Amino acid sequence: MKRFYSLTIGWFYPDLMSTYGDRGNIIVLQKRLQLRGIKTTIKKISIYDSSEIIKKCDLFFMGGAQDRQQEIVNRDLLKQKGKFLIKAIEKDIPALFICGAYQFMGRYYKTAEGVKLQGLGLFDIYTENPGTYAKRLIGDVIIEPNDSIFKKNKPVFFVGFENHGGRTYLFDQKRAFAKVIKGYGNNGIDKTEGFIYHNAIGTYLHGPILPKNPELTDWLLQKALEIKYKEQISLKKITDFFSESAKKTILRRFSV
């Protein structure tokens, strides 16, 4: 008998943390599940929702925003929802945190005005903005993911776009999500990009990242299904002609 699967995706603060088109990540997660006949439920989690909703989710996503919105969200995470989110991540529930959301997961974020905002401390990182007049880190990004994500026989690259003033520093660079091939990454200095802890990924790649990198999308979905159903899952192959063509165009542009 064929087994029917379902996933519930928790989308944190879509009204506040969705500045750079990161809604596209939710769309592609939902679409790739639907193409495989997997029932999908999207739960939008706002500052007004009960933290109990987090317990019902199999996968989490949070996008980026400007400083004002980030301060509102940061208060809600620290006072209400953060401890529930941390507990889920510690149980290996997969998550994707983009830009400002990624910064929240660290020890602290220092704004361009020098205000120090406490983070959740889930990721062993910290972020500091060098000031209003400092150069923003903007442009196309090409990265090679950590082997802990893709144990590969040939090089695998992800592409995206970054736009951030903050510089993120890792206490353990082995926990980086990826190595920078083109672009700035975490801080423009050490060639690291993002952070990975259990099955939670933090990254500065907008674009959004998932439509351009279907391998990463399927990695998150497969992990979510395996954690929920406690069995090995083999996802049905999907034709990725357009996303792969777009990626190849970027790679050729930078001779990668």
HSE at residue 142, side-chain half, CA atoms within 13 A, is 16
* DSSP letter for each residue of 57-91: -SEEEE----HHHHHHHHHHIIIIIHHHHHHHHHT
Q: Which of 57, 164, 198, 206 is catalytic?
A: 206
Sheet of 178-182: strand order equals 158-164, 137-145, 178-182, 192-193
Asked if residue 1 has pLDDT above 50, the reply is: no
Which residues make Cβ contacts (< 8 Å) with residue 40, sequence separation at least 6? 6, 7, 8, 9, 29, 30, 33, 34
Which residue, 162, 67, 64, is CA-closest to 114? 67
Distance of CA 191 to the CA centre of its chain: 18
**Computed from CA positions of residues 101, 159, 19, 49, in that sequence, does the dihedral angle turn out positive or negative?**
negative
Does the annotation count 99 as an active-site position?
Answer: yes
Does the annotation count 57 as an active-site position?
Answer: no
Taking phi first (over 0 means left), then psi (-120 to 50 degrees means alpha), and beta for anything else, what does residue 107 get?
alpha
Which residue, 237, 223, 182, 188, is CA-closest to 96? 223
Tens-digit pLDDT profile for residues 86-99: 999 999 999 999 99
Which residue, 140, 141, 116, 138, is CA-closest to 129? 116
Q: What share of the chain is helix, strand, coil (3-state, %, to 5)?
A: 30, 25, 40
Tens-digit pLDDT profile for residues 120-148: 999 999 999 998 888 999 999 999 999 87
pLDDT band (50, 70, 90) for residue 152: low
3-class DSSP assignment, residue 31:
helix
Q: Which of 57, 99, 164, 198 is catalytic?
A: 99
Asked if residue 69 has pLDDT above 80, the reply is: no
Tens-digit pLDDT profile for residues 201-234: 999 998 789 999 999 999 999 999 999 999 999 9
Asked if residue 151 has pLDDT above 90, the reply is: no
Question: Does the reported pTM lie above 0.85?
Answer: yes
Q: Tell me the domains of the chain and their CATH numbers.
A: 7-253 (3.40.50.880)
Instruction: Compute and round to an integer the Cα radius of gyration of the chain.
Output: 17
Give the whole-angstrom CA distance, residue 55 versus residue 169. 30
